[in-house]
Amino acid sequence: MLGFYGWRSGIDIAFEHDGRQYRHTAGHLDDGLLDYIDDQQGVVKDGTGGWYDAGDYGKYLPTASVSVNSMLSAWEQFGDKLESVELPFIPEHEDGVLPDFLSELKWELDWMLKMAYDDGSGRVHHKLNSPNFPQFVLPADDPTTRYFASFSSAATGEFVASMAKAARAFAPYDELTDGYSQKLLEAALVSYAYLTENPENVRYDDSVLRAGAYQKDGVSDRLWAAAELWETLGDDAMLADFENRIGEHTAFVPNFDWDSTAHFGLLTYVLSSREGRDPDIVAQLEASLLDTAEDIVRRQTSTGYGRGFNLYYWGSNGVTARLCMVLQAANLIDPDQRYLNACAAQVAYLYGRNQYNRSQITGSGIDPPLHPHHRPSGADNVDAPYPGLLVGGGVGATTWKDEQGDARSNEVAINWNSALVYALAGLIEGTGTHSLGRGPVPAESCHVRVSSVGYLPELGKLASVQENCELPSNFECDLPESTLSGDTQGSKSLIDDLEDEDTQILASEGRSGSWFAFDDESSGTHSGVRIESAQRRGSSAAVCISGEDFAVWGGGMGFALAQMGSARQPYDASEYTGVSFWAKGSSTEFRVMLVDKYSDPGAGQCASCNDHFYGAFTPSSAWQRFTFAWPDLEQRGFGDAHPNVCPAELRAIQFQWPANEDFELCLDDIAFTTHQGTEQEPVYTAASGGGGCGCRLSARPPAGTPLGLLGLFAMRLTRRRAA
């Protein structure tokens, strides 16, 4: 919470921590200009206050809403403990009007109220910032000019959800706050009315204010808004709005943040004690919630440092903390000490029981970060950084760098910090595991650095495996011998010929899915998936994408092979021998990637996911056909290694472009290949013994059956960032 106070904008900051004095004068007292709102050149609107978003000085509705929601959820569930928590460093502490925890939240909520359009329409500005990030200066020394962004459906929905949820928390204090909860609720209702009357989703105009995009379409936010307003008011129309929107949003995932806010609405709905909920929806959500919690527990108990999430990317420390929201909710539905223990393990991981033997929170824990990507910390004259800030963590299992310039792994952000506040709030007075340490197991043969308070389960997957570590593999893939024969000369089975000119793949042989695009969320742009004239003999249409300037790892397009709602299901392609497609485009090395059970994070099998099997190809301006047999496909080496792709458990096919390239790619007639001749009796590949150091038969093949390509496979365990 001290971290949030240090993030305050528009106020002088002064406090002491660990014998050091921290202070800076109020900055951004002229927030901000409306130049890009209805041509109001030079017009100033009051946007002062609130928290700075991260290591920069922007203020954004998407992260603000997620942050206040996470902390208000802590208040709803653990308020009996939080009410007495004192924050003596905040100026409101002395007046005693509100509990200190709510006083800090009110600082942000007051700013959020200012983000509503002054015309009373209910529209909400998406953000307030400068076109470019400032240098490492203190807030009062920031020379950049700051502007309000245009409204977005996403920001408006997030605003409704935040105001409605906050109204519940502040209602008991209305006599002391001149009816503050009513002010919040009235603002929520005005914006909700706008969303109801304007069903189209509008994105904000990011043509100028590109720094800190947080771009999104608002679909999840409308659902979230309906859930929070219904929980506050009990209105049947709002309940119907939520339940009509829920559609495919009936599955929880462990990793959700500002870009997947439907989960916050789902949690409100599934934990509600109000009457009128659809029992079928409730049952689906409860089952999915418990399944997700069990998945977190399984990972927590089988990984070296108790981390319950197996991916690493920008901000994944925040996701690790937010696992506690799922675990605590599951514990309310079906009380189980294992859920609380798993939450405690996430906190232990963040405070130092990890592969670095270092805390990820400035100012506390074991050997905490000293150089976060945080402008006040870098610009003041105090060696130690501002305390209480959770850094994002490595984008790979061992890539965290305690360097100010490494924004990808060492930036701080309010949406991550708020998740940590929630996690800690649930552990006040020792709820969960009291003793976080377990006896270490010798790991000399694995060259693993053992934390002084850590533990190494004897058969656990370890995030910091470097070399020669013989750990058990979970790879079991039963295949006919012909599948891995390398023979692609048989007939083709079309997955999508694009002739219907839509983004759905052909619904044949049990396949279903639609084309989508994905990217690394850096400053690049792409056209999205589009259907164009193929201009190829025998074909009238193709699927295309183009773009530029992606700086981290690039992006791509692809489709699931068997999609049920929003979830990928396994597809058995073991009767096929490879994949074939026609392509044309820029002279860029693209990759075709096969996502299987062992590389898809949603399948629950991989400790270090997204190392999909791939084949590289470089198109030209003329159409060419590319064919890859299953044995042609390789892994890049940063994640869990396996002998071969598992066609019996495919999830998706993707086509990826690299970083730092202008690109254009068109595809047509994507198909599975088959072998010549007839099917042969099956033989099997099986679990590799000794932790991925080889491959053996799990069943003896019929006499006389050749072993084909089965044999030993070398496996690299180098950990790099998952693309």
Query: Mind telling me the catalytic residues?
Result: 56, 373, 402, 411
Identify residue 119 by its one-letter amino acid code. D
Transcribe 641-668 into DSSP letters.
--SS--GGGEEEEEEEEPSS--EEEEEE
Cis omega (within 30 of 0) for bond into 32: yes
Residue type, 446: C
CA distance 204 to 193: 19
Residues with Cβ < 8 Å from 207, sequence gap 6 or more?
Answer: none
Using CA atoms, how far apart are residues 161 and 172, in angstroms rounded to an integer?
Answer: 19
Tell me the longest C-alpha to C-alpha distance in the chain. 87
Q: Which two tokens stand for residue 614?
A: 């791939």
Handedness of CA 147, 153, 156, 157 (dihedral sign): negative
Give backbone dihedrals phi and psi of 178, rounded to 5 degrees, phi first: 60, 45
How far apart, in Å, are the Cα atoms of 101 and each of 261, 421, 593? Answer: 23, 11, 48
Q: Please say whether the beta carbons of 532 and 542 come within 8 A.
A: yes
Based on C-alpha coordinates, what's the Rg of the chain? 27
Q: Identify the CA nearest to 126 among candidates 41, 227, 202.
A: 202
Integer Cα distance of 310 and 148 in angstroms: 38
Residue (of 318, 321, 316, 299) closest to 308 by Cα position: 299
| CA–CA distance, 160 with 192 (Å, rounded to integer) | 6
Please give the structure tokens belonging to residue 132: 């470019």
Q: How buried is residue 88: exposed, middle or buried, by Cβ count under 10 Å (0-12/13-18/19+)?
A: exposed
CA-CA-CA-CA torsion sign (327, 332, 337, 341): positive
Whether the Cβ atoms of residue 544 and residue 590 lie closer than 8 Å to each other: no
